[in-house]
Amino acid sequence: MHRKVKKAVTYLCFLWLLFLFTNGANNGDNLSSHTKKLYSEIPNLNLDYTIFHQSITGYYYLLNQGKINNERYLSIVDMSISANKKRYYLIDIKEKKVVAHTLIAHGKNTGSEYAKYFSNTLNSYQTSIGFYSTAETYYGDNGLSMRMDGLEYTNNKARVRDIVVHKADYVSEKFIKEHGRLGRSFGCPALPVNGYENIINKIKNGSCFFIYYPDQTYLKKSIILNKAKEISLE
């Protein structure tokens, strides 16, 4: 009798593991299919699909966790390309369109034309990668500015470091022509003067802001990116 019970328990455990595996695989397939469809529906999105997929999966995970409440907009910064190119994408998820595609600065100690070094340390003057939730706006030395809350181990000191979105005259095509590269910040994702207020007013108060770089340690350790694989959109 004991042998039969043990066999039955083993069989039930097998069925449960099979269910978990199948359900997890289906969730992954479901999410991947969704991001591919959404990617194809957004016109003029000159962004690598892999980066888009990671951004969207993180966005849905944070939405599911109640970490963001301005669900209409998603900001993506592709730090893997030259600062002389437009690296900032503002996507309207509801309307499925790119609202803004523009230049954006990285920290002065993150690199020259290309971003290479990242930090979450005070006074490092480096960019912090990962997912953020946008926060409140205020008026400071750079005019209208927006605070951000880092949601990962790579950027959770954003408040202490005063990492904010603001305007900068060194973020311009003119500066690139004069100096051979875009200007750099103290770690803040600074935007061009022209149009920055419109961007901040759309994304403020709880939207998802993702600064991407293909750092393998981050990609493996990011709780958001890894937990996002488990969510289901059904």
Q: Is the pLDDT of residue 117 over 80?
A: yes
Q: Is the pLDDT of residue 206 over 60?
A: yes
- What are the domain boundaries of the chain? 2-228
Q: What does the DSSP 8-state code read for residue 109?
A: T
CATH homologous superfamily, domain 2-228:
L,D-transpeptidase catalytic domain-like (2.40.440.10)
Q: What are the CA-CA distances from residue 73 to residues 30, 50, 59, 179, 202 (Å)? A: 22, 19, 10, 33, 7
Strands (E), 109-184: 130-140, 143-150, 164-165
105 in Cβ contact with 188 (< 8 Å): yes
Q: Average model confidence (pLDDT) for the chain?
A: 90
Contacts of 54 (CB under 8 A, 6+ apart): 210, 212, 225
CA 48 centroid distance within chain: 14
138-160 confidence digits (pLDDT tens): 999 999 999 999 999 999 999 99
pLDDT of residue 230: 80
- 2: pLDDT confidence band, cut at 50, 70 and 90? low
Q: Please state, in angstroms and rounded to a whole number, the distance separating the CA atoms of residues 194 and 183.
A: 16
Count the helices and strands in the chain (H runs, E runs): 6, 7
- 231: pLDDT confidence band, cut at 50, 70 and 90? confident
81-107 confidence digits (pLDDT tens): 999 999 999 999 999 999 999 999 999
Q: Is the pLDDT of residue 12 over 50?
A: no
